[in-house]
Amino acid sequence: MESVSQHKSVLVQEVLEALNITPNKTFLDVTCGGAGHTRAILDADPTVKVIALDWDMKAIERAEPLLEIYGDRLQLIWGSFAHLYKLQKKHKIPKVDGILADFGTSQDQIHEGEGFSFKHDTPLDMRMSVGHYKTNAYHVVNFATAEELREILWTYGEENRAKDIVARIVDARQKSRIHTTKELALIVEQAVGFRRESRTHPATKVFQAIRIFVNKELENIEAFLPVALNALADNGRLVCISFHSLEDRLVKEFYKSTEREGRGRIISQRPVTPSEEELIRNPSSRSSKLRVMEKKKAC
């Protein structure tokens, strides 16, 4: 039975405007996910083409029925945007007129994957692509040193209670291995307390930090951005959607340095954020920020 995506793509109209879609252009969606953005780009003009990547094979399989609808206007490729240069060579991807990268975690992965959410009791895994990484959250939580864990929680989660949380994790794992999301969430609750009326669970930043570390998310973005710029045709646009300050900072600084070097022009001086209507329709979009840069024509 065909799997249906639960993911709601954010800032769809804003993405279409940012990409500056006109007839006969080719776009690269490096984070296909639930294919919401991919479909929107293809529907925006009957002559455009989209090459869509995702490192989650389930996302590619879920998007495959679109091939019947859009035919040769859509090409699906399994792979990580961090390996864009290799994928370009392997699949002979030409220079494109626009690139979209949505760095947010897919709702499909949160609901179906193992270890992403403390709302579902699943094994501690957190790998977005099992085929790309061997180390999972179980290994990090149970075998990283206390110093390494504190560094992970502070660097990737900006968790100011990291010391207390790590002390409780180390104490718990000495008695028995920590296997599931609920076990880890309970340990965090015991370390820092939890008021049921609170809107944010105390384990939120902990799970974010471990997920980012396991999937090398920031390193992947750093590897992707310069390659993406080179993959653009002259006057092509790079559109990035971030969901937390660490990602957004990397994009912002890359755009600034590219503009200083005379290789690009920042289109969005301030990040584009969701409208009130979208926030009501899709609350998970609340932290999303979109930034746009245009590649300058080579002299």
Stated pTM of the model = 0.88
Lowest mean pLDDT: which of 126-135, 155-164, 177-186, 284-293?
126-135
Pairing verdict, β 264-266 and 96-102: unpaired
Q: Is the pLDDT of residue 2 over 70?
A: no
Lowest mean pLDDT: which of 8-12, 145-149, 192-196, 203-207?
192-196
Average pLDDT over residues 226-255: 96
CATH topology of domain 134-215: DNA polymerase; domain 1 (1.10.150)
Q: Is the pLDDT of residue 24 over 90?
A: yes
Quote the pLDDT of residue 271: 95
Write the single-letter amino acid at 268: S
137-189 pLDDT, tens digit each: 999 999 999 999 999 999 999 999 999 999 999 999 999 999 999 999 999 99
Residue 113 pLDDT level (bands cut at 50, 70, 90): low
Q: In this structure, what token pair is assigned to residue 135? A: 């180390």
* DSSP-assigned beta bridge partners for residue 50: 27, 74
* DSSP-assigned beta bridge partners for residue 27: 50, 98
Q: Could you tell me the residue ranges of all domains in the chain? A: 12-108+217-295, 134-215
pLDDT top residue among 76 and 58: 76
Radius of gyration in angstroms for the set of CA atoms belonging to the chain, rounded to a whole number: 20
Q: Is the pLDDT of residue 111 over 60?
A: no
Decide if 76 contacts 61 (C-beta within 8 A).
no
Query: With pLDDT > 70 as the criterion, what percentage of the chain qualifies?
Result: 92
Residue 7 pLDDT level (bands cut at 50, 70, 90): low
11, burial (CB in 10 Å: exposed 0-12, middle 13-18, buried 19+): buried
Pairing verdict, β 232-242 and 96-102: parallel
> Mean pLDDT of all residues in the chain?
90
Lowest mean pLDDT: which of 151-160, 196-205, 215-224?
196-205
Q: Is the pLDDT of residue 112 over 50?
A: yes
Decide if 140 contacts 214 (C-beta within 8 A).
yes
Nearest CA-CA partner of 126 in 210, 37, 241, 19: 210
Which residue in the block uniquely carries the two structure tokens 């925006």? 44
Residue 58 pLDDT level (bands cut at 50, 70, 90): confident
What is the distance, to the nearest Å, from the Cα of residue 153 to the centroid of all Cα atoms in its chain?
A: 19
Nearest CA-CA partner of 13 in 241, 221, 228: 241
Quote the pLDDT of residue 6: 52
Cα 257 to Cα 245: distance, rounded to the nearest angstrom: 18
Q: Which residues contact 257 (CB under 8 A, 6 or more apart)?
A: none
Average pLDDT over residues 38-58: 95
Q: In this structure, what token pair is assigned to residue 273? A: 């954020």
Sheet holding 49-54, edge to edge: 74-78, 49-54, 26-29, 96-102, 232-242, 289-295, 264-266
Which residue in the block uniquely carries the two structure tokens 């965090």? 188
Q: Which residues contact 127 (CB under 8 A, 6 or more apart)?
A: 113, 115, 133, 136, 137, 214, 215
Same fold for the domain at 12-108+217-295 and the one at 134-215? no
Quote the pLDDT of residue 217: 93
CATH number, domain 12-108+217-295, options 1.10.10.10, 3.40.50.150, 3.10.110.10, 3.40.190.10? 3.40.50.150
Average pLDDT over residues 235-251: 95
Average pLDDT over residues 103-122: 68
Q: Is the pLDDT of residue 198 over 70?
A: no
Average pLDDT over residues 185-212: 87
**φ, ψ (nearest 5 deg) of residue 26:** -120, 130
